[in-house]
Amino acid sequence: MSEPQKKKRMELRVGVFVVVALLIGGTLAFVIGNQQSMFKSKSDYHAIFEDVGGLRAGNTVRIAGVSVGSVESVKFRDDGQVEVHFRIIQDAARLIRGNPGDEETRDDEGNVIPRSEATIGSKGMLGDRLIDISVGDQRLPEWDRETPLVTTAGGDLMAKVEDMANQVEDVIGNVRTATEPLGDPQFGQDLAETAHNLARLTGMLAGGDGLVQRLMTDPSTADDVEQTLANIRSTSDELRRTARSARMIADEVQRGDGTAHALIYGQEGKEALANIGRASDELATLLGDVRTGDGMVHDLIYEDTGEQMIANLTQASEDIAAVTGEIRSGRGTIGGLVMDPSIYEDVKRLVGDLERNEILRALVRYSIRRDDSRGDAEVTETEASE
C-alpha cells in the first residue's frame, strides 16, 4: 500500500472516531441534561433542617414522588441547624403553596387546608438521601421563595426500619423479663404443686357430695338456687318500687300544699314545734311544782295522804262490795225490794188501789187546790232568822 493511501485511511479512521465520539458525547449530554433538567428554567428554594442524614449537593429533589430538581448546597447555620438550598424546575414550582406566616390555614368549615412541607427521605434500599416536598392545596398562594419551606421529620424507609428495630428490641426485653421466672426451679416446683392441688380439687368436686358438686349434678339443687336468686331479684324489685314510692311521696310533700308540706316547709311547722316546746316547758314546770310544792297532788304522790286515800278507797270498795252482796242475797229492805218479787207485786197492788180509791183521790185534789190558793210563800227576815 502506498503512502498516500495509508494517509487517507488514517484520516478516515480519525474522522470516524471523532464523529462517533461527538455522537456519544451529545447523547450523554442530552440524557444527563434531560435527567437534571439542565435545559429548563428553574426556581431557587431553601429549607432549614435539624438533621439532613447525609444529604449532599447533587441529590434529587422530588415533588409527590417525581424528580423536579437537585440540591445545590448544604451548609451549617450559626445556630447549628442545617440550611439546604435546592433548585426546582419552574413548571413544578407552582405546586409549592402555603402561607408562610401561619402555622396552619383552615377553611370555612374549620378543616385544615394542606400546605407544602419538605422532608428528608431516602431513595431505595441503598439509602441515598433526597428531599421530598408535598403538594400544597390550590386554594393557597404560591410559596414565597425568600421564605424557608416548612420542614417535618423524615419518614423514609431506613428511619422506619430503625424505629421497628428499636420496638423489636423493647419487645424482646419484655419477653426476657417475663420469662426469667420460668427458669427458677422453685417456680417449676410451685407450678407442679399448683397443678396437683387443682387436680385434687376437681376430683373432689366431681366425686364429692358438697354444694358445688350438687350444683353441678343435682337439678333440684340448681332449681333451688335459681328460685333463691329469683326471690332475691323479686325482693330487689320490691325494694326498688318501695324506694320509688317513697321518693314520689317525698316529692309530693315537697311540692304539694298539704299538712305535711306545711309542717316541714311552711311556717306552721315552726309554730307547731314552738308550741310543742312551750307545752313541754310548761309540763316540766308543772311536774317541778308537783315535786317541790305542798299541794294536794304533791301530797297524793309523795306524802302519806296518797296511801291513806288509797286505803280509804279500798275500804269503801270493800263496803260497797259487801252492800251489793247483801242486796244480791235479798237481805234488808233494799235487798227485799230488789230481789223479792212478792214485795214488788204488793207495792204495785197498793199503788193500784190508791189510784182506784175515790176518797184518797179527792183528798189529793183538795190539797193541790189549797196550795194553789195560798200562792207563793214569802219569807221574812224574822222567819229566816228563826
DSSP letters spanning 33-100: HHHTTTTS-EEEEEEEES--TT--TT-EEEETTEEEEEEEEEEE-TTS-EEEEEEEEHHHHTT-B--T
Tell me the sheet residues that pair with 132. 62, 119
pLDDT band at 384 (very low <50, low <70, confident <90, very high): very low
Residue pair 129/81 in contact (Cβ under 8 Å)? The answer is no
Burial of 113 (C-beta count, 10 Å sphere; 0-12/13-18/19+): middle
Q: For residue 277, what is its C-alpha cell?
A: 316546746
Q: How far apart are CA 276 and CA 283, in angstroms?
A: 10
pLDDT (tens digit per residue) in 42-61: 889 999 999 888 888 989 99
Residue pair 201/193 in contact (Cβ under 8 Å)? The answer is no
Q: How far apart are CA 86 and CA 193, in angstroms?
A: 72
Neighbours of 268 (CB within 10 A): 13
Residue pair 121/76 in contact (Cβ under 8 Å)? The answer is no
Kind plus residue range of the DSSP H or E element containing 120? strand 118-123
Neighbours of 98 (CB within 10 A): 24
> What amino acid is encoded at 182 in this protein?
L
CA 76 to chain centre: 57
Give pLDDT, residue 105.
Answer: 80
pLDDT (tens digit per residue) in 322-354: 888 877 777 777 777 777 777 777 777 776 766
Q: For residue 86, what is its C-alpha cell?
A: 435546592
Give pLDDT, residue 288.
Answer: 78
Radius of gyration of the chain (CA): 65
pLDDT (tens digit per residue) in 5-15: 777 777 777 77
CA-CA distances (angstroms) from residue 60 to 34, 64, 72, 103? 14, 13, 10, 27
DSSP-based three-state secondary structure for 141: coil
CA-CA distances (angstroms) from residue 317 to 308, 310, 312, 322, 338? 14, 10, 8, 9, 21
Task: Say which residues have a Cβ less than 8 Å from residue 206's Cβ, sequence separation at least 6.
Answer: 213
pTM here is 0.36
304-329 helix and 332-339 helix, angle to the nearest 10 degrees: 50
CA 170 to chain centre: 38
Average pLDDT of the chain is 78
Burial of 131 (C-beta count, 10 Å sphere; 0-12/13-18/19+): buried
Tell me the sheet residues that pair with 73. 85
pLDDT (tens digit per residue) in 161-193: 666 777 888 888 888 777 777 677 787 788 888
Residue whose entry in the numeric block shows the C-alpha cell 337439678: 219
Q: For residue 231, what is its C-alpha cell?
A: 326471690
Q: How far apart are CA 96 and CA 51, in angstroms?
A: 22
Neighbours of 326 (CB within 10 A): 13
Give pLDDT, residue 155.
Answer: 54
Q: Is the dihedral of CA 368, 374, 376, 379 positive or negative?
A: negative
CA-CA distances (angstroms) from residue 242 to 31, 35, 229, 250, 290? 93, 87, 20, 12, 48
Does the pLDDT of residue 213 top 70, yes or no?
Answer: no
Does the pLDDT of residue 383 top 50, yes or no?
Answer: no
